[in-house]
């Protein structure tokens, strides 16, 4: 076992060596611009892009023309929300999302509010789950879009997408989901869940950074978007910009590998996650699970160690990479907006650590992490105030 140990797979993942292998030729001998239609360098690059597009579409069960390449899930989310709002503003001016969404959904919604759109931010229960009745009651004749994340990047809670999608379809509103943490990790059936737009990125599934995907439904209903970047009309006029060919090729291979190993990998990560959780709750007092106890991403474990300040615990674990929340919000000194939305106590809010397990996590690394966390929680508590004995040992297999 090598140190340091990486337990922050929600922030990003290492590129799988098999993905690197298929990407390499497109940095050197196959370096052409796919928009160069006058010579074979461009033709070879364009063929690689379309082959990758078709492969991604096949794995998702959609048509190749419904796959749009972007620079990442943040851009995909922006394009989905702003693109729908601008293209369909004559139909309505209301958008519904959830208070626990990623900032790349919440911030575009706030920008749209400044442009005259009304946004409803649905609350969640103590586990991070929305109330479907409340969602239904929030939809009005002016509602254009519902945007709800598949699996939460901080607490791992998985929303009931089939019920949400059916509700949106019955009400005649578009349904977008940020599936960045879910694609390649859990099954996501676009058509059974009536998803109209779906965002995800390569670097969360052992592919490269700088590449994202936006699924845009082409029929029943056909989704029209207003482009957000002008300059060339690439990607069928939806997203201008020179395509990142190596990353596109890599993302297709990464998705293939993730789909093929999904069930086996999910079972392995659940086993490791439960080993950690059981060790913490059996050896320590005042340990609380954040997020849904059962309906959560298989690689996610978000734990509050009461009376231990989160940053102090992270600093004591210098040879283990963990997080207090989203990597996109680490510059913000404020506590996690996701945990605040759950209504947890201040003690839980300021003592939460997110463990993100992944493809290259070993059992030896998990055992080392368990020992180090227990050791340092006890040390920090010994120099802190006395703590109350309690726990919420509710996670089930």
Q: Say how many residues make up the chain.
A: 397
145, part of any domain: yes
Shared-domain flag, residues 141 and 39:
yes
Shared-domain flag, residues 123 and 249:
yes
Can you spell out the DSSP letters for 252-313?
Answer: HHHHHHHHHTHHHHHHHHHHHHHHHHHHHHHH-SSEEE-S-SSSB-TTEEEEEETTS-HHHH
Region 166-181 average pLDDT: 98
Shared-domain flag, residues 26 and 175:
yes
Shared-domain flag, residues 188 and 225:
yes
388 confidence band (pLDDT: 50, 70, 90): very low
Shared-domain flag, residues 160 and 267:
no
Region 137-165 average pLDDT: 98
Can you spell out the DSSP letters for 49-83?
Answer: HHHHHHHHHHHHTS-GGGEEEESSHHHHHHHHHHH
Shared-domain flag, residues 336 and 347:
yes
Region 69-78 average pLDDT: 98
Say whether pLDDT at 87 is over 50: yes
DSSP state of 36: -
**3-state secondary structure (DSSP) of residue 144:** strand
328 is an active site residue = yes
CA-only gyration radius of the chain, Å = 22
Number of domains in the chain: 2
| First vs last C-alpha separation in the chain | 27
Look up the domain containing 23 and give its range: 17-260
**Edge-to-edge strand ranges of the sheet holding 300-305:** 287-289, 300-305, 352-356
Shared-domain flag, residues 236 and 356:
no
**3-state secondary structure (DSSP) of residue 101:** coil
The pLDDT, as a whole number, for residue 392 is 60
Inter-residue contact 392 to 289 (CB < 8 Å) = yes
Rounded (10°) CA dihedral 329, 11, 82, 119:
-50
Inter-residue contact 202 to 208 (CB < 8 Å) = yes
- Mean pLDDT of the chain, nearest integer: 94
Rounded-to-integer distance, Cα 199 and Cα 372, Å: 36
Q: Which of 87, 328, 374, 395 is catalytic?
A: 328
């Amino acid at each position: 076992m090598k140190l340091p140990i990486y337990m922050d797979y929600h922030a990003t993942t290492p590129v799988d060596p098999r993905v690197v292998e298929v990407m390499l030729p497109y940095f050197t001998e196959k370096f052409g611009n796919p928009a160069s239609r006058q010579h074979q360098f461009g033709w070879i690059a364009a063929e690689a892009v379309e082959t990758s597009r078709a492969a991604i579409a096949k794995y998702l069960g959609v048509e190749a023309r419904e796959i749009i390449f972007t620079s990442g899930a943040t851009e995909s989310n922006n394009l989905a929300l702003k693109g729908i709002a601008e293209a369909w503003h004559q139909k309505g001016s209301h958008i519904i999302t959830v208070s626990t969404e990623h900032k790349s959904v919440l911030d575009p919604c706030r920008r749209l509010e400044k442009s005259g759109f009304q946004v409803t931010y649905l609350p969640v229960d103590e586990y991070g789950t929305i109330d479907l009745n409340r969602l239904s009651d929030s939809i009005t004749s002016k509602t254009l879009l519902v945007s709800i994340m598949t699996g939460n990047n901080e607490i791992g809670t998985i929303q009931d997408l089939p019920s949400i999608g059916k509700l949106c379809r019955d009400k005649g509103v578009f349904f977008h989901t940020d599936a960045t943490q879910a694609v390649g990790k859990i099954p996501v059936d676009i058509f059974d869940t009536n998803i109209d737009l779906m965002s995800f990125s390569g670097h969360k599934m052992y592919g490269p950074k700088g590449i994202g995907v936006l699924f845009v439904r082409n029929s029943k209903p056909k989704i029209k978007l207003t482009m957000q970047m002008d300059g060339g009309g690439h990607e069928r006029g939806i997203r201008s910009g020179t395509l990142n060919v190596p990353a596109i090729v890599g993302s297709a291979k990464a998705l293939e590998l993730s789909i093929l190993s999904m069930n086996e990998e999910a079972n392995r990560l659940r086993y490791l996650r439960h080993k950690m959780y059981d060790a913490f709750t059996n050896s320590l007092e005042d340990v609380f699970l954040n997020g849904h106890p059962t309906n959560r991403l298989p690689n996610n474990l978000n734990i509050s160690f009461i009376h231990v300040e989160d940053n102090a615990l992270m600093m004591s674990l210098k040879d283990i990479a963990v997080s207090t929340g989203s990597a996109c919000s680490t510059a913000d000194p404020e506590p996690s907006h996701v945990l605040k939305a759950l209504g947890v106590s201040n003690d839980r809010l300021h003592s939460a650590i997110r463990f993100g397990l992944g493809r290259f996590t070993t059992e030896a690394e998990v055992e080392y992490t368990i020992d180090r966390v227990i050791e340092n929680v006890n040390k920090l508590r010994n120099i802190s105030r006395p703590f109350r004995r309690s726990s919420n040992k509710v996670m089930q297999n």
